[in-house]
Amino acid sequence: MSNDYRILNTRAPRVDAVDKATGRAQYTDDLSRPNMLYGAILHSPLAHARILDIDTSRAERLPGVVAVVTWRDAGTEPYGVSPARYDETIFCHDRVRYVGDEIAAVAATDPDTAHEAVRRIKVDFEPLPLVLDGRHAMDDGQPQLHEQYENNICAQVHWRFGDVEQGRREASVIRTDTISSKMQDAAFMEPQAVLAEVDAQRNLTMFSSTQAPHYVQRTLAMALNHPLHKVRVVKPAMGGGFGPKASCSTAELATCLLALKTGRPVKFTFDREQVFLHSRARHQFLHTMTTGVRDDGTLAFLEHECILDGGAYASFGIATVYYAGSLLGGPYRLKNMNYDGYRVVTNKPACGAQRGHGAVIARALFEIQLDRIAEELEMDPIELRLKNVMDAGETTCNELFVSSFGMREALEAVRDSAAWKKKRALAGQTRAEGKGIGAACGFFVSGAAYPIYRSKTYHCTVVTKVDEVGGGVVVQSGAADIGQGSDTMLAMITAEELGVSLDDVRVQAGDSSLSVDLGSYSSRTTLMTGAAARDAARDVKRRILSAVAGRIDVPPETLDLKDGCVISLADPIDFSALRDEYLKEHVGFSDLPDSPKLSFREASRIAFLEIGAVVGTGEYRPPKLGGSFKGAAVGTSPAFGCSAQVAEVSVDLETGEVTVDRITGAHDCGFAINRTQVEGQMHGSMMMGMGEALMEQVIYDEHGRILNRNLAEYKIPTSLDMPQLDALIVESNEPHGPYGAKEVGEGAIMPVIPSILNAIHDATGVRINELPVTPERIVRALRRKSVCAK
Amino acid sequence: MTLPRFDVLVPETVEQACSLLAEHGGGARVLAGGTDLLVDLKRPIVQERLIEAGGGDPGRFTTLGDGEPGAIDPWGSGDPPPDVLISLHKLAGLKRIEVLDDGRLRVGALATAREIQRVPEIRDRWTALAEGADSLGSPLVRARGTIGGNICNARPAADITVPAICLGAQLELQSPDGSRTLPGEQFILAPGVTVIEPAEILTAVTFPALSARTGSAYYKLGQRKALEISVVGVAVYVELAGDDTVQAACVTLGAVGPTPLAARSAAEVLAGGKPTGELLARAARAAAADATPIDDHRGTAEYRRLMVEMLTRRTLELAVERAGGRS
Ligand SMILES: Cc1cc2nc3c(=O)[nH]c(=O)nc-3n(C[C@H](O)[C@H](O)[C@H](O)COP(=O)(O)OP(=O)(O)OC[C@H]3O[C@@H](n4cnc5c(N)ncnc54)[C@H](O)[C@@H]3O)c2cc1C
């Protein structure tokens, strides 16, 4: 793609690359303070029990223990993610609801003492019957987890769009299929870590590995009853989040409580085991879908029911149950859609948001259905999809407007790049045993259009300030770079606008005291914070150019910033007076400007001399979006990403082992601010989706305890499992995104699971409707098939 | 997970190591690469330290502080943590790998998986051992984990132990009272339990010399291609006679019983027969019948038994080919 950008759309190295590669980057657990204490938490060993008594006296007597806190210190006011479902307290008070539920916390002078103290806390429990199976949580007679959730239903959705009965009458092929998945762990590299400190004015500062400093700031202030303006949340360098770090955790609340109580800095870092216990990762989904198409392959209707097992608390789960339905509105023209979703609570760790929030398993089943329908119609599965994809300017049946949409282009790109026609044509004819190829598409929001609390808040602001000595630029933002590279995105946009080099831009971000920014979730940061950064940089530019123009008496519109210099768009300009002024200020300096052009360094210094602080601001708030039906807000977005993928697999028909040989993916990100980072998100999505398709599952025993709560037994793909990955970038120029950009962070995972499952079917002739598709499940299905054939 | 506190002692000779072990009794553990031991010693964050509360109220439970009598801890190892670890890392002699003059292979107990992988003679002749080492963990783990640790840790799925037993490993053990040699297959009694005496150290593993017409293979089945605990492991060894019949054979199974398991009826099926596809398939079925797998979260007994059959047939085909025969 050719364009005039110097920096955007390139493969500029990440601004944090060297620090991370050399170990210089400071993650939360690297931080330390004089006089710092270490925290530890007592987790419930039982999945469901009444608490009769908590005795902390033996812990308090242990030398080195400075504070022990329980609900008596923290109170019992509920908090949570969605105001409509505040159902957690900082510490359990009368009941524990999962193995891992937090009962007390300790601050001590060293970690060993803190752990030892936790072990000395005595709790009397009266065990209660468990609800472990999400399928049956709603049944009559099941134990109830929360008074406010009748029949253990935490949230439910009933949507009717169009006329499904009419669709049914038009359909010539109708089929019903099911799929069930397992709870996931996001398996980010950096476990949650927190350092909290309080100053003499009771300003509470918390450093935390969080995706959403602003939301966490609000939750801390609310739950700890501390003034909002005296709570500051700072996100140091971070090793991934994928969703579970988007809400405030007990680790954060307890550490702050301990810092407030002791007046000393307190640090607390999750063990990997605690990452599993705390979870807030992907729900378990149990989907049933009935889809009908007309004989020409046009989609006629979708009837969809889903039960989401959400664990013990609501967390992000209300959004999850909505997303599970709403995001099937695209990328195909589908006029009639019914959805009934139930999110239930069970005695397992709470589930929340994870990459592709709510929509991944629904997408998997729907794309499998499309393949099965194509088979019945004897149509090529990609042809069937092409027949139904939406184009830019269309609105889905649930009122999602797609302003840019490279779906068709993406699907054609993977089809051609993977030589689909040739390989698929071989299907059924002569080809190596156990080889298969499959395709799927995906659809995802590019930033939630509404904040999680009811407000007309700006979703982000950016302040860009030029160094008053001239030359450098500082971008200040609350956006959270969790590893996806948003700091680099901010630097690139600013450098592009101001015509300076990337090295002259310093990004200060991830700090709630710098700006309101809703955080890194729902694939929003490039579109939203990117737009704010662009506007802030343009604001700065206007100020510099008008100050310079005033000095040399030309209209500001005739000036521009380019390649580190002020250029004239009209007649050449003599800058010598400004140059002299700058040189006089810098007697004795050696790296002084000497080209005939006025450098950015001089121009920005002159601007400061003329007008004082040179500060530009930008902000972003989505336009009002969405329909008027209940829950219409979830799924709305200023833009939608879409993606297509072809997976090629080899299946060992005797052992069931699957080797993914190659994945070809295409994603419409609108415009790639940084091409390498777009590909990085696609590669990461492929890896994560492949793990979910083939190996990942949190396994519970009959007491609700996680059997595989470590990364040896919770399997994610290793580098040896990864296939060749071909990431193709599609750019559809999104009108609502900065420079045409929209999301890639989550949308890219959408087609991964179904394309692999469709390929496995192509290879083996069997369908497996339970994830993950382990070798054992494949062998069982193959044996069932051969028994039936006999 | 938190590590308990312990001291690390670093003897300079095997004799010193043995006497330190004797001195500290049950409170000491031998430390080789530490890739099993340190993981085992870590204490989970959530432990179930519950007892039924007194006062005649059987429905009530209490969590217990450490050290209080009566605590049960079904998630922990059950063994009290050691006070000292006796590190073997200064015993350079235990790292040696050599083919002896009489053709036997002698591998020091401290040889790492990576060192085993890199010896051409092992890959050439004791192939199953090299393939076991290849399949262990990841490059990082292979650089630390030793053959001695793998064997002494006594897990049924251990990827070096299973082929080592198949290849007729003899274990050299040393204690303050002297040394003894033991066949590998007599060493492991139950998961994590061996016949090793409290003050005894495994110093080396020797393998019988091989004739030219032998072949061996190891296949590990798991869900992913590295960092995997076997769902099933199969090691086979085949020796062919001049007339291409099977002179000797051994099939050893991993992860389908409480210890690495000798599939004796498979060996009996093979002995003296021509290694045709039909014979190998019959041996594979016999191996599946010998297996005693259980259901756990890594796989069901049914699948494991089936896989023993598939993989025994495949590894046998490979081993026969390597022995210069054709199946
Ligand atoms: C991430 C990871 C992946 C792994 N993957 C695999 C795998 O794929 N396959 C596999 O089989 N194993 C695997 N393991 C387990 C482990 O790495 C191997 O079993 C390894 O061979 C153990 O050797 P070590 O030297 O580290 O033993 P250590 O941990 O040092 O010792 C293990 C046990 O043996 C005892 N011991 C060690 N040496 C002697 C000796 N010379 N005399 C007497 N007693 C001794 C110790 O006291 C201890 O009880 C893995 C471990 C990790 C952490």
Q: Is the pLDDT confidence value at A50 over 80?
A: yes
Report pLDDT for B77. Answer: 45
Q: Is the pLDDT confidence value at B56 over 70?
A: no
Task: Say how far apart CA A263 and CA B150 lie, in whole Å.
Answer: 49
Task: Based on the fold, state whether residues B102 and B199 are members of the same structural domain.
Answer: yes
Q: If you average pLDDT over every residue of chain B, what do you get?
A: 91
Full domain range(s) for residue B141: 92-207
For chains A and B, CB pairs below 8 A equal 109
**Position B2 confidence tier, pLDDT thresholds 50, 70, 90:** confident
Task: Say how far apart CA B306 and CA B301 lie, in whole Å.
Answer: 9
pLDDT digits (tens, 9 = 90+) for B244-290: 999 999 999 999 999 999 999 999 999 999 999 999 999 999 999 99
pLDDT digits (tens, 9 = 90+) for A532-577: 999 999 999 999 999 999 999 999 999 999 999 999 999 999 999 9
Amino acid type, A246: A
Give the residue, out of B84, B116, B141, with the most ligand 1 atoms within 8 A of its beta carbon, to mutate for a pocket test.
Answer: B141
Q: Which of B175, B207, B239 is the last residue of a domain?
A: B207
Determine the residue among A113, A124, A126, A655 to mutate to test chain B binding: the one whose Cβ has the most chain B Cβ atoms within 10 Å: A655
Residue B227, C-beta contacts closer than 8 angstroms, at least 6 positions apart: A712, A718, B137, B138, B141
Into how many domains does chain B fold? 3
Task: Say how far apart CA A395 and CA B50 lie, in whole Å.
Answer: 58
Q: Which of B207, B234, B268 is the last residue of a domain?
A: B207
Whether residue A776 and residue B229 make contact (CB cut-off 8 A), yes or no, is no
Task: Based on the fold, state whether residues B65 and B150 are members of the same structural domain.
Answer: no
Establish if B112 belongs to a structural domain.
yes
DSSP B50-110: EEE-STT-TT-EEE--TT-TT-B-TTS-SSPPPSEEEE-TT-GGGG-EEE-TTS-EEEETT
Q: Is the pLDDT confidence value at A377 over 50?
A: yes
DSSP 3-state assignment of A563? coil
- Whether residue B111 has its Cβ less than 6 Å from ligand 1: no
pLDDT digits (tens, 9 = 90+) for A125-157: 999 999 999 999 999 999 999 999 999 999 999
8-state DSSP, A9: T
Task: Say how far apart CA A441 and CA B268 lie, in whole Å.
Answer: 55
- How is domain A31-128+189-240+244-278 classified at the architecture level of CATH? Alpha-Beta Complex (3.90)
Task: Based on the fold, state whether residues B83 and B98 are members of the same structural domain.
Answer: no
Q: What percent of chain B has pLDDT over 90?
A: 82
Fold exhibited by the domain A17-23+454-620: Aldehyde Oxidoreductase; domain 4 (3.30.365)
Determine the residue among B223, B227, B256 to mutate to test chain A binding: the one whose Cβ has the most chain A Cβ atoms within 10 Å: B223
Q: Is the pLDDT confidence value at B63 over 80?
A: no
Q: What percent of chain A has pLDDT over 90?
A: 95
Q: Which of B40, B56, B87 is the last residue of a domain?
A: B87
**Position A419 confidence tier, pLDDT thresholds 50, 70, 90:** very high
8-state DSSP, A624: P
Q: Is the pLDDT confidence value at B67 over 50?
A: no
Interface subset of B 128-167, CB within 8 angstroms of A:
138
Pick the CATH number of A284-447+627-789 from 2.40.30.10, 2.40.160.50, 3.30.365.10, 3.40.50.300: 3.30.365.10
Task: Based on the fold, state whether residues B256 and B296 are members of the same structural domain.
Answer: yes
Q: What percent of chain A has pLDDT over 70?
A: 99
Whether residue A122 and residue B60 make contact (CB cut-off 8 A), yes or no, is no
Task: Based on the fold, state whether residues B78 and B185 are members of the same structural domain.
Answer: no
Task: Based on the fold, state whether residues B229 and B186 are members of the same structural domain.
Answer: no
Residues of A in contact with B310 (CB under 8 A): 654-655
Is the fold of A17-23+454-620 the same as that of A31-128+189-240+244-278? Answer: no
Report pLDDT for B74. Answer: 38
CB of A768 within 8 A of CB of A436? no
What backbone torsions phi and psi does residue B40 show, to the nearest 5 degrees? -65, -35
CB-nearest partner of B297 from A49, A52, A707: A707
Q: Is the pLDDT confidence value at B53 over 70?
A: no
Task: Say how far apart CA A499 and CA A279 lie, in whole Å.
Answer: 44
- Whether residue B32 has its Cβ less than 6 Å from ligand 1: yes
Residue A547, Cβ neighbours under 10 Å: how many? Answer: 20
CB of A322 within 8 A of CB of A255? no
Q: Which long-range contacts (CB under 8 A, 24 or more apart) does B133-139 make?
A: B133/B159, B133/B160, B135/B159, B135/B218, B135/B220, B135/B228, B135/B230, B135/B233, B136/B160, B137/B35, B137/B113, B137/B226, B137/B227, B138/A718, B138/B226, B138/B227, B139/B114
- Which whole-number Å values give the CA distances from A255 to A220, A251, A270, in the listed order? 11, 6, 12
Q: What is the mean pLDDT of residues B95-114?
A: 98
Task: Based on the fold, state whether residues B159 and B128 are members of the same structural domain.
Answer: yes
| Residue A55 touches partner B, C-beta closer than 8 Å | no
Establish if B82 belongs to a structural domain.
yes
Q: Is the pLDDT confidence value at B61 over 50?
A: yes
Establish if B2 belongs to a structural domain.
no
Task: Based on the fold, state whether residues B98 and B67 are members of the same structural domain.
Answer: no
Report pLDDT for A628. Answer: 85
Whether residue B225 and residue A58 make contact (CB cut-off 8 A), yes or no, is no
Specify the residue with its C-alpha closest to ligand 1, atom 46. Answer: B30
Task: Based on the fold, state whether residues B115 and B203 are members of the same structural domain.
Answer: yes
- Whether residue B37 has its Cβ less than 6 Å from ligand 1: yes
| Residue B212 touches partner A, C-beta closer than 8 Å | no
Establish if B52 belongs to a structural domain.
yes
Whats the size of chain A, residue-wise? 790
pLDDT digits (tens, 9 = 90+) for B188-232: 999 999 999 999 999 999 999 999 899 999 999 999 999 999 999
Q: If you average pLDDT over every residue of chain A, what do you get?
A: 96
Task: Say how far apart CA A92 and CA A250 lie, in whole Å.
Answer: 11
Angle, CA of A271, A275 and A280, to the nearest 5°? 160
| Interface predicted TM-score (ipTM) over 0.90 | yes
Task: Based on the fold, state whether residues B203 and B226 are members of the same structural domain.
Answer: no
Q: Which long-range contacts (CB under 8 A, 24 or more apart) does A695-700 make?
A: A695/A772, A695/A774, A695/B223, A695/B224, A696/A182, A696/A184, A696/A185, A696/A187, A696/A772, A697/A182, A697/A183, A697/A184, A697/A771, A697/A772, A698/A182, A698/A183, A698/A184, A698/A185, A698/A276, A698/A279, A699/A182, A699/B297, A700/A132, A700/A348
Establish if B201 belongs to a structural domain.
yes
pLDDT digits (tens, 9 = 90+) for A735-772: 999 999 999 999 999 999 999 999 999 999 999 999 99
Task: Based on the fold, state whether residues B73 and B131 are members of the same structural domain.
Answer: no
DSSP 3-state assignment of B169? coil
DSSP A79-117: B-SSGGG--B-SS-SSEE-STT-EEEEEEESSHHHHHHH
- Segments making up each domain of chain A, as ranges: 17-23+454-620, 31-128+189-240+244-278, 284-447+627-789
What CATH number should be reported for the domain holding residue B243? 3.30.390.50
- Whether residue B84 has its Cβ less than 6 Å from ligand 1: no
Q: Is the pLDDT confidence value at B235 over 80?
A: yes
**Centroid of ligand 1 to alpha carbon of B114 (angstroms):** 13
Establish if B202 belongs to a structural domain.
yes
CB of A9 within 8 A of CB of A55? no
Q: Is the pLDDT confidence value at A627 over 60?
A: yes
| Residue A782 touches partner B, C-beta closer than 8 Å | no
Query: B105 vs chain A: nearest CA distance in angstroms?
Result: 31
Establish if B116 belongs to a structural domain.
yes
Task: Based on the fold, state whether residues B124 and B189 are members of the same structural domain.
Answer: yes
pLDDT digits (tens, 9 = 90+) for A328-345: 999 999 999 999 999 999
